[in-house]
Each structure stands twice: as C-alpha cells, then as structure tokens.
Structure 1
Amino acid sequence: MGKVAWMLIATPFTTVQSWWRKTFSAPTTDETTTLYRAWRNRFLWQRLRLWLWLALICLLSFTLRDIYGFLFSLKELESLPEILRTQRLVINIAMLLSILICFALHKTKLGRNRPDLLFLGSSWAISLASQLFATLRGFALPDAIGWSLLFLSQAILMPVCWIVHLLSQVGVLVYYFGVNTVLGLKTPVPEHPEIYSVTFLLYIFWFCAICDIGVYLYDRLQRSEFYARQELEFAYQKLKVAETKYRSIFENAVEGIFQSSPDGRYITANPALASIYGYSLAEEVTAHSTDIQQLYVDPNRRAEFVRLMEKYGSVSEFESQIYRRDGSIVWISEKAYAVRDEQGKLLYYEGLIEDITQRKQTEEELRVFFHAVSHDLRNPVLGTLMVLRNLLASPEENISISRSILERMIQSSDRQLNLINSLMEAHVSEVQGVVLQRQPVQLLTVVEAAIADLEPLLEQNQAKLTNLVSADLPLLNADPTQLWRVFSNLIVNSLKHNPPGLLLTINATRENEMIYCTVSDNGTGISQQQSDRLFDLYFRGANIRNSVSLGLGLYLCKQIINAHGGEIGVNSVLDAGSTFWFTLPIS
C-alpha cells in the first residue's frame, strides 16, 4: 500500500518536474548561436527605440499634469505629501533628460552593438531617478504605479532577453529595500510609514514574475521559430544545391537524357539529346518530336522498343538508326526503363540515348581493315607459297630459279614488309605519338629528295611533277625524315587514286610565322564526304587502284604535321583535282 501511495504521489511530481525542465531549462549552446544572438540584438535595438519614444510621451503627459497641478489646483494631488507635490516636476524633468541621453546613445556604435546595456541604463535611469531624489530628501518612495508601467511596457515591447528584464527589476528593488532599510528611511505617508507590507511584496513579486515568465516564453518561442526558419532555409538551400547539381548533370551530360510518354512524345529532353537529333535547344525536341516512331529509319523499331518495355520493364543497348533534323542518319543506343505509379499504371519511359555513329563507323573501318589485311597480306603470301611448292615439286636435287621469279618474290616480300611496317608505325604513333628528331631543315632539299626517290613511280604512271618550292624560304626546325615521308605519302596518294598522265604541282610560301605547303593535282577529285574522313585511321578511298594499302599513309601524315605544331587538310572538287595542304611553324 505504501509503495502504491508513493507511486501516486511521485507521478504528478515527476510530470511537473519534467515540464519545468522542458519549459525553464537553460538554452543549449546549439540554440544560442551567433546568428540568433545577432538577430535578437537587432530586434532589441529596434524595439528599444520604440520604447524610448513611448516612455518620452508617457513622461511628458505626467509632466504636463504636474505643470497643470502646479498652476492650478488638482484635488487628486492634494492627498500627496507636500514634498512630492512640490518636487514632482523636478523628478520628471530629470527622467526626461535621462531619456534624451538614451536617445543619443541609441544612435551610437555602442548602442547598436550592446542594446542590452542600453536597456539596463535607460530602465535604471527612469526607475532610480525618483529613488535617488527621495533618498537625498530623506524618505522612501514606493513607486508601485511607476514600476508597473515600466516593467509592463518593457515586457510587451521588448519580450527578449529575460535576464536583462530581471536585472532591471532586481536593481530597482534591491536599491529600494536595501538602501532604505540600511538608512532607516520611512515613507512620507503618515498612515503607512513602513517601506513594505505583505500585500506590497506579493504584488511586486508576482507582477515581476509574470512579466519575466512572459518574456522568457516569448523569447523561447522566437528562438524556436528562428531555428525552424533557419532549418527550413538550410533545407531549401540544400534542395536548391541538389537541384542545381542534378540540373547541371542533366544539362551537361554527354548522353541524351529523356522522358517520353507511352503514346510516343518526348516530355523532357536535355541539350545532349537535342544535339544528337540536330536541334539547338532542348525545347525544340519536345515541341517538334510529337511522334517518336517517325524518327526511326525502320518504323518497326519503336514498336519493338515498346514490346520489350512491356515484357521486361527496361531495355539496354537498343540500337537503331534515326533521322536527324536535317535528314541525315545516325546510329543511337537507348537504355531506358518504364516508370509506373503505385498501382502499376505506366506513366512514362525514362532513359539515356547515346550517339554511337562513330562506333559503328569504327566497326565498319575495322571490318574493312581486316578485309584489307586478309587480302593484301594473304594474297602475296599465297603467291609466294605456290611458287615455292611448285619448285619443291621438281624431282631435281638442285633447283634453278629464274631471275624474274626471284624479282617477283622480292617485290611480294617488300610489299608485305611495307604493310607490316605501316601497321607498326600507326600503332606507335597512336599510343606514344610521333617522335621527332629536330634540326635546321631547308624545305627545298626535303622535297627534291622525295621527288628523286619517287621518280620511277612517276615514270610508271606517266605523271608530270612541277616543283615550285623556293630555296629562299627560311630554315625550319623540323625532322627532315618525317617531312620526307609526308611529301612522299601525298605524292603516292595522288598517283594511287588517279589515272595515268597526272599533273602534280608542289609549292610552299611563307604566311606570317608559318610555311604553307601544297601538293596539287588535276585528277578526279574527292567528294566532301570522303574529305571529312580522309585523314582517319584505316580509311581507304573509293577510287584506289592499288590494293596494297591499309589507309595509313594520310593518317601518319596528319600525326607528323600535328607533332610539328602545324595543320593539314585538303581542298577538292570532283572532276577538278585536289590540293593537299599543310602548315609548318618557322620557329
């Protein structure tokens, strides 16, 4: 029974204790941050100005009353002691002066930085002025009405920093009860000369307590709201940063990102997708692509896409050809999944689109390359093998070989060796880059050496070559062997892709700090589509007459010129000849 009784008593006590700690516990370090204190000081400083104006108006009204009572008799003032009736005006004027001083301090840097000190100063200047006057006159002044107005106005207009409110109240009460008790002063009212009574003490205590509790609770509420706003602002900033980050990923992604409706419309698209489809803006994709099926070269691909989505919920590496805005065709690879709501209803498709045209071209180039390897290397080996087997089939121990057979075998072996060397050089330049052995070079010497080495080939193709390179050109800091290869490859390339009787012209001129070199012919020319890919690895022209080629010559030319710090290109018109050009820096 005793244990049950103790539990019944302890339960409400524990509840009250918990409520007290929750309501009146000191704020934690996290709560009293610098940001909140700055806001509270600014709020206190702004409200302090309003309170000073209110105090000034209030004191002026009482001062006017005292002036009126001094000039004309007021019955309500006749009950006051003589000394208060005659000196009340002086006390009010002193308090007015103190308020004006507080106004001046309010505009200073000290007033802005420490409004709590200005609060205490202004409060004590008003409340202690009358107490000091009464002490000097030898009596105690229990100004309950003045204190009530003071404390209540402060609690209502400046409901923050409850400690400052408490200090302002304690300062006045300590002075009143302490100083008057020590000095033995009495009130000027004969009927009640004692400085305090039980009723007076209870009134002052509960009035101050109610004001301080109200200020504390309001301050706590403001602090909670402030931190709630800060957390909301912080969450908004995080959301904004996350949105910016993902928006940046969406806008700057290399792959096209899309959302499309089940009926075949693009809902959203990023700039990469717009670029793949040939548009300048992503908004143009959603505006013009109202039927995705029409974008596919094979219209059945969209139906296949939808079928796979319905069956598996996602697709990966779904490759198709599509039409761009200008009508050109590119290869794309789609990776997407179906987005559904909680009930399983299909909302839209979402995924990535990658332009794989380059990959498809590379695959085609590799196919051509393997065909070239199998053809250009296999055939000479088979021819040589047949000759050797025929010779080996002879019953004679000592076999004689004609010079023509040996020459054909040597030519075949040389072609194989040249092809293998070209493959190795292309691989090395692709991985390590072209290594240059620079030295002062006269361009005319390099060109004449290349022409001399190719003289038999020029005669065989009945070609005529004109060298317009001047000996007055400045020396180049270059690799003569690599430049010889460039001129040789360009000359051989022209001979290889044109019929006999070709006219070739080599020229070089100075343009600012560069030497501009050209190798021109009057041949069949090159289409724009071929010109765009002419310097790619393993690309072979359509008009090639000599099969011993892997499409490496022009690629190596580009690697060599780029290594020298120059550029290379071609200007050509079908049936009007071609001009291969490249630049070399002088210094």
Structure 2
Amino acid sequence: MARSIPALQLISKRIMKSVHLCLPVRMSFARYLNTLRAIRQPAHSTVSQEFLTWRHRFLFNRVRLLVWVVLIVLLLVTILNLTINIPSLNALGNPQMAFGAERTLRYMLTSGTQIVSVLLCLLLLKHPSMRAHPERLFLLFAWSVLLSPQIIDTFYKEARFDAGDWILFYAIQAILIPVQWRLHIISQVVVLGHFTLAVLLGLRDPDVPLLATYVLGGFYTVLICFIADLGVFLYERSLQRELKMRQQLQVFLHAVSHDLRNPVLGMVMTLKSFLKPSGEDAKIPQELLEQMIASGDRQVELINSLLEAHSTELHGIVLHRQPIRLDTLVNSIITDFQPFFGQAQTTLTQVISPDLPLVNADPLHLRRVYENLISNALRYNRPGLHLTFTAEVIEGKQKGKGSRRRRIFHAKANSQNLTAKSQWVRCTVSDNGVGMTQQQCDRLFELYTCGPDRRQSLSLGLGLYMCRQIITAHDGEIGVISSPDHGSTFWFTLPV
C-alpha cells in the first residue's frame, strides 16, 4: 500500500488543478491528502511492538470475518430482489418503479460484480502478501463492495447515490474491525469522494429527483462515518492503554521477584555455610549478623519503594535523592555479593576513589542498578570472571561521548538541558566475559527484546530496562561498550 500512496496523491493533486471545484470539495481533498501522508508515517514510538503484532493478527482475522459476512448478505439480498422484490414492483404496473430488461440487466451486472469482487478477496486471504499486509486487503475489499457499483454507473454516465448501503456497510465495518481508524477514513473518503466528483461533473442518479435528497443523505452518511471512526479511534486507544498498564503490572511483579532474589539467595547461602554435619550448634559472628540484619532492612525498603513506584505514572520511579559516597555504596554491594563471587570464582578490582565528589542520587535505586549489572555479568558469563568498578568526574559536554566504533546505546535524559559547566560522575562496571554483538547492544535496554528465548529475555530485559528507567529518572544516561569475546563495559552517569 505504501507504493500506491504517492500515485494516489499525484492523481488527487491533478484533479484539484484541472477541475474548478468549490471550496468545500477542495478542503475535502486536502484532508484526504493529509490522511494519506499520515498513513505513510511510521507508528508512534509509544506504541509497543506487542500491540502492533496483536493488531496485525486481529485485523487479518476480522477482515476475513467481514468478507464472509458481506458475501452472505450480498447473496441473500440478490436472491430476495430477483425472486420477490423485482417481480412485486413489476406487478404494480408503475412504469417508474418497474424493472425492465435493461434495468434488470444492470442490477444483475452490479450485484454480480460485487459478489465476484468479494469472492476474489476471499481467495486473496490465502495469499502470503495479504497475510503480511492485511491493510491492503481491508482497502481492496471496502472499495470492491462500494466503489464497483459507482464505477459501473459512471460508465453509463450516471452517479449512484447509495446512502443506505454506505451507512450500513461502514457501521458493520466499524463494529467488526474496531482498529486502524486511518484505514476506515481512507476507505470512506475514496468512495464518497468519487460520488461527489461525479455529481460536480454533472452526473445524476435518475432515482433521486431532488437535490435536497443528496444533501440530507450525504449529511447522515458523513455523520455515521464520523461516529464510526471516532468509536474505532477511542476503542483502539483504550486497547493501547490497557496493554500498557498490563505491561507495567508485569514489570512490577517481575521487579519484585528480580530485585529480592539476589539478597535472599545470598542470605540463604551464608546460613547454609554454618550448617554442621555433626549437629553441633553453629556460632555466627556478630559482624555477619549485623550484615544480615542490614540486608533484611534493605529488602523491606525495596518492597516499600516498589509499592510506591507502582502507584506512580512517571516511569514507575520515585526518587529520594541524597548525597552518596560511591566507594562506600559499591563496597557494601560487593560485600553482599561475596557468596556469589565465591561460587562463580569471580575476582574484583574496585578503583573508585574515596575523594570522588558526592553524587546526588537515590541510594536504594542506585543499589538496584549495580546489583542488576553484577547479576547479569555473573549470569551470562563463565566462571572465573573478572569485574572492574570505576568512577570519574566528567564535564556536561563530554557526558555520554564515545568512539563511533564503539557499540553504545544511549538512554536520553528526560528533563532539563545540561550546561557546559555541569559536572557528572561516570560510573562503569566492566568484565572480561563473552561480550555481545552490535544488535544485542542496540536493543539491550529495551523491555522483553533480548534474545530469541522469551524466558531469557524476561530476565535480561527486565533488569537492564529497570536500570535505564532509574538512570533516566536521575537525568543521566546509560550505555554499554562491547564486542564479541572482548568483554563488556556498562557505564552510566549521575549528577555531582
């Protein structure tokens, strides 16, 4: 359909230049051209891929249902007209209402063309291109049902005024296919525009003697089309919002299990190390007890923050900023992960200077960022990994810059612009693991898009997605520099 749209635009522009139409008709054609341009534009970034996939499948299934419904209706109406209606009108003896041989032949030609067109659309349902692009089949079907009779009448130098058929068809179309409101508008504009152009060129429907009938019938048709399109638009918007809220709920539920899993497992592994096979009483050092109590307190704070984040609509993140010493925070996180590091034979290098300026951040959410980055490094690399933690002060203009050869994903800040004198702390978590390809790096921080295995993507996609949400809420940026077999360096910036 995208290739045919420029041709339709060119034809419409030539019609506007060659025919001296009145102002309302020119405005209608202008709206039609704007609609065509809107169709060519890609979907808005806020529309999720999951919704687009569902809408594609739903549109194809509903077009198939509409084709069968209209085919059955056309067959029944044609049979009733040929067997009951036309013989009854001829029996009245009124020459104006009677169907002569020519009029009956034209009716059979029109009905036969509609039925054949619908049967052709029914066959096209099995074609791969129509399955891949159901929008084309939608427009082809709508025009074959309502536009083909008008083209036949235009050939006989008449204009067909089928306001009743238009209202009935577009109402059924909106009920059975309540998505893709732009396609509804295009299907209606082309049919009604053809009739309007035929009337302006001097063609008339011989069965409609009064001009007022055109005005009244056209008003009702446009009104029904407007209501139908508005209903489709509102229904599609409500579906998008429902799907978005469902995704937010899934993120919340997975975040609870994802962020509570590591500290609970670390505590369980620590307690298991004190089990004595002989049944002797285990003695737990006071320092370890204090560490476990602090870990439990952080879990309670994390649960409270997650509940608070779920009740907000701003990225699901509520910040409680305070000055933080990065070296102290990272050392605390490394201590909590010691059981995991020992199990995975991981070595560490922590080179964050104690003299580094304090960062203005939420300590609980910043801890979640580090924990997610460490957990992913341990999960997706072999034992014997080496992790390096660094942090340095950079100027605002240099924030987020990197070589063109580096594979970086940027999460753009969502609030105030940075000044040249603003200072940021650039934090990194590096490993010498298997690394990633550029395709993985480009989509690493998106939700549910990492890897072909959906269960794997739920784990990886959620953790890094939450990292991006947290850093973005801090007005910072997050990214990754990686290549296969050369490890990965995750970096993010925080305000001083």
* TM-score normalised per structure 2: 0.45
Higher strand share: 1
TM norm structure 1: 0.39
Larger radius of gyration: 1
